[in-house]
Amino acid sequence: MRRPRHSTALRLSALRAATCALLVTAFGGCSSCARGNPPAAGASSAAPATSPELRARLREAARAKGAAYVPRTRHTQADGAPIYTNRLVLESSPYLLQHAHNPVDWFPWGDEAFDAARRLGRPVLLSIGYSTCHWCHVMEEESFEDQEIANYMNANYVAIKVDREERPDLDAIYMSAVQAMTGGVGWPMTMWLTPDRQPFYGGTYFPAHDGERGARLGFLSSLKKFKNTYDTDPKAVAESAADLTRAVREHAAPASAASTSATAVLDAAAAQYRSHFDPVNGGTRGAPKFPSSLPIRFLLRDARRNPAGDSLKMAITTLEHLASGGIHDQIGGGFHRYSTDAAWLVPHFEKMLYDNALLARAYLEAYQVTRRDDFAAVASDILAYVDRDLGAPDGGFYSASDADSLTPASKREEGWFFTWTPAEVEKVLGPESARLANAYWAITPAGNFEGRSIPSTPVPAAPAKRAALAAARETLRAARAGRPLPARDEKILTAWNGLAISAFARASLVLGEPRHAARAERAADFVLRALRKDGRLLRTVKEGKSAAYLDDYAFLVAALLDLHEATGTLRWLEEAVALDAVIAAHYEDPAGGFFLTSDDQEKLLARDKPAYDGAEPSGLSVHVASLLRLAEITTRDTYRQRAERATRSVGHTLGTSPTSLSELLIALDFQADVPKEIVLVTPASRAEAEPFLAKLRETFLPSAVLLVTPEGDPLAKLAALAPLVSSKVAKGGKTTAYVCEKQTCELPTTDPEVFAHQLRKKP
């Protein structure tokens, strides 16, 4: 599940009234509608019986997976073979494969399912989730593995499963319908659709039966009620579907506005974050808590603009508590997705590539601002985790690891892999080391999570104990690796790989670690080789067509710009420019902004234009920042003009709720500043620029572009894309720095100290 999005114009009284009318028809009442929240209802779907030919094909697909294949179901034969196999066994998505042996007769998204619904006169139940989602697993166990519920679904619905990470376009469309009805969003997402793909009701997680988990009506009752309404009152269904479809289309086209002062937007956003800040634990007040709910990178920029304010304190407090809490995997590194409590102690235990890539960037920038080694250490630890546990052999990065894992009793439980008892620690470390470890990581007999302890570090380690604790941590990590591992989603997504490449590239530049740049280059080479076909990116590595979305292009363009700054390799800048040209041709709205899908992808109920930054930033926000960087690098004003049109396209949102576009605030900060254009020309190699790069690392300079090039042919080739470097030389055979603003440069210098002074000068 995820936190609610900001309230939007979708929550219209007319839509509420239409939803209430449908609920009155289905359930005989709408008491919860008066409070603005429809009653809980369930979601998932089913379909007609399969043909003998298809059944044989599905059995063969299951057999082809080999002897090591373990069906994820409790419905098995004596030899462990699955009793049920549905069409999802033919898919490559880890999430869809998790449901391939449910007794529900699932379809993947496609014409076959909707044709069947139309032919049979049935509604469609659409269930959207992802492979490491804990509550998706709960709903599977409670409802989709339940024989009675599955039988009802198979006899009365056509059921469709979608992996939101493979199909963000479907997720965006139908999640906006859920938000229109409930004001909140989350996964698993459950939608009732007509055979024309229009939503007429929906929600998120629903318990299986009436009264469970505090719900008045369970999933099975909801299935029966809405099927009855679909059959007996088609007018109510049609009206609800029309209203929701209208709401979806309004959401897909955010309101534009005239240009708003970037400074005014930034100041308003900072004030909103201050008003919701938790001064005790950091982040925003309340629970659950997401790391993205208080964007650290924006706060660091605001502190630079307004040094007398409290943004820096807010950022530091949040980073400290994140690092010491249970949301931080103290033993294995990396961060879990979010905390269920206000103190960052008890997380949902899934780990996402995107969260860790984004947090690494935040800790790197905080290190630049504060020069605190502990922040650098957290960033390095995140990257070590990502490389070790999410690194793919061919160079890319896998998507996530699961919240759930097997206990010694072979029962799947959330978080068991990550938790400890004092006795377990003592068995691994011995009594003396265990006393130190248990005290430091707050591992107690009572525990803090279902009788076990999530490691946290409420008190910093004394300097004299740090070496012993580091050794203990490695020993515990090695021992923990012997437990049944949480499932890993080995889907490789272009967008999330872009975020990881950016993190490794920035770490190389900030920490002076060439190995991080090498890892970023390896991943970038893989993505451009394996996830591109005929000049167009793919969303993921899978059989058949897997067209990319806006965020795939936007995140990769930003990553390649970061990688060019970290390495000076011209290829990465050239590739960034080429990929932006694809965005301009196929994803950009000439009136301003960007569509999530290309002009030649599947046509859905609406063509969504992203206008919200959540746990993942939107492609719009990331690409506006890239366009502003490209404008500085290339001196082509068309990039700046496109960035400004895109910003105006979400002007209404920026004016009314700037924090809902938290990543775009970073681009606005760049725009409001006078960016520095930094050129370092060396006699022969990038290594000769190291004394200057060391000074650059000591300076938090977010509004800047960096070009490092040897003289001669490399400089001439770079100048074709970046005229800034033209006519610049390494004076006297020494590395020479040129610090410029608006293409006007300070006197060139061969002295790193003078260079550092030029960097610190305010416009």
Instruction: Report H helices in 334-404.
Output: 353-370, 373-390
| Residue 238 resides in a domain | yes
Q: pLDDT at residue 8 above 70?
A: no
In whole angstroms, give the CA distance from residue 436 to residue 469: 8
Closest CA to 188 of 290, 398, 344, 45: 45
State which H helix or E strand residue 622 sits in. helix 619-634
Q: pLDDT at residue 39 above 90?
A: no
31-45, 341-355, 468-482, range with the lowest pLDDT: 31-45
Q: What does the pLDDT average to over 34-60?
A: 54
- DSSP-based three-state secondary structure for 547: strand
In percent, the amount of the chain with pLDDT more than 70 equals 93
Q: pLDDT at residue 2 above 50?
A: no
User: How many residues are recorded in the chain?
Assistant: 763
Q: What does the pLDDT average to over 103-128?
A: 96
Q: pLDDT at residue 360 above 90?
A: yes
Check residue 5 and report its DSSP letter: P
Q: What does the pLDDT average to over 448-466?
A: 96
pLDDT at res. 21: 52
In whole angstroms, give the CA distance from residue 39 to residue 32: 6
Model confidence pLDDT, tens digit, residues 340-354: 999 999 999 999 999
Q: pLDDT at residue 462 above 80?
A: yes
Check residue 741 and report its DSSP letter: E
Does residue 305 contact residue 669 with C-beta atoms inside 8 Å? yes
Q: pLDDT at residue 288 above 50?
A: yes
pLDDT at res. 342: 96
**Would you place residue 762 in the very low, low, confident or very high pLDDT band (cuts 50, 70, 90)?**
confident
Q: pLDDT at residue 311 above 60?
A: yes
Q: pLDDT at residue 5 above 50?
A: no
Does residue 469 contact residue 461 with C-beta atoms inside 8 Å? yes
441 Cβ neighbours under 8 A, 6+ residues apart: 330, 331, 420, 453, 455, 456, 457
pLDDT at res. 55: 83
Instruction: Measure CA of the first residue to CA of the last residue in the chain; give whole Å.
Output: 45
Mean pLDDT rounded to a whole number for the chain: 91
410 Cβ neighbours under 8 A, 6+ residues apart: none
| Residue 311 resides in a domain | no
Rg, C-alpha atoms of the chain: 27
> Cβ atoms within 10 A of the Cβ of 604, count?
18
In whole angstroms, give the CA distance from residue 9 to residue 248: 11
| Residue 590 resides in a domain | no
Does residue 33 contact residue 218 with C-beta atoms inside 8 Å? no
In whole angstroms, give the CA distance from residue 270 to residue 257: 21
| Residue 723 resides in a domain | yes
471 Cβ neighbours under 8 A, 6+ residues apart: none
Q: Using CA atoms in the order 67, 68, 71, 74, what is the torsion angle rounded to 10 degrees? A: 90
pLDDT at res. 541: 82
Q: pLDDT at residue 404 above 60?
A: yes
| Residue 529 resides in a domain | no
548 Cβ neighbours under 8 A, 6+ residues apart: 494, 531, 536, 537, 538, 539, 598
pLDDT at res. 46: 37
105-119, 295-309, 544-558, range with the lowest pLDDT: 544-558
Does residue 354 contact residue 410 with C-beta atoms inside 8 Å? no
Query: At which residue do the structure tokens 């069906």 appear?
Result: 71
Q: What does the pLDDT average to over 696-711?
A: 96
Check residue 594 and report its DSSP letter: B
What's the CATH number where 138 sits? Answer: 3.40.30.10
Q: pLDDT at residue 138 above 70?
A: yes
Last residue of a domain, one of 213, 229, 251: 251
| Residue 157 resides in a domain | yes
- DSSP-based three-state secondary structure for 575: helix
pLDDT at res. 32: 31
pLDDT at res. 49: 54
- DSSP-based three-state secondary structure for 651: helix
Residues β-bridged to residue 744: 741
Q: What does the pLDDT average to over 209-218?
A: 87
**Would you place residue 185 in the very low, low, confident or very high pLDDT band (cuts 50, 70, 90)?**
confident
pLDDT at res. 37: 29
Model confidence pLDDT, tens digit, residues 529-538: 999 999 999 9
pLDDT at res. 543: 61
Model confidence pLDDT, tens digit, residues 233-269: 999 999 999 999 998 998 888 777 766 789 999 999 9
In whole angstroms, give the CA distance from residue 644 to residue 554: 16
**Would you place residue 128 in the very low, low, confident or very high pLDDT band (cuts 50, 70, 90)?**
very high
Does residue 538 contact residue 531 with C-beta atoms inside 8 Å? yes
pLDDT at res. 743: 83
pLDDT at res. 14: 41
Model confidence pLDDT, tens digit, residues 484-519: 999 999 999 999 999 999 999 999 999 999 999 999
- DSSP-based three-state secondary structure for 254: coil
In whole angstroms, give the CA distance from residue 340 to residue 90: 36
> Cβ atoms within 10 A of the Cβ of 388, count?
12
Last residue of a domain, one of 225, 251, 277: 251
Number of domains forming the structure of the chain: 3
Closest CA to 301 of 723, 705, 715, 701: 701
| Residue 60 resides in a domain | no
> Cβ atoms within 10 A of the Cβ of 531, count?
22
pTM for this entry: 0.92
| Residue 361 resides in a domain | no
More confident residue, 169 or 763: 169
Q: What does the pLDDT average to over 164-170?
A: 95
In whole angstroms, give the CA distance from residue 149 to residue 154: 9
Q: Which domain holds residue 709?
A: 676-760
- The one-letter amino acid code at 658 reads P
The encoded tokens of residue 199 equal 């939503």
Last residue of a domain, one of 251, 281, 299: 251
pLDDT at res. 3: 37
Q: pLDDT at residue 278 above 80?
A: yes
191-195, 411-415, 448-452, 492-496, range with the lowest pLDDT: 411-415
- The one-letter amino acid code at 482 reads G
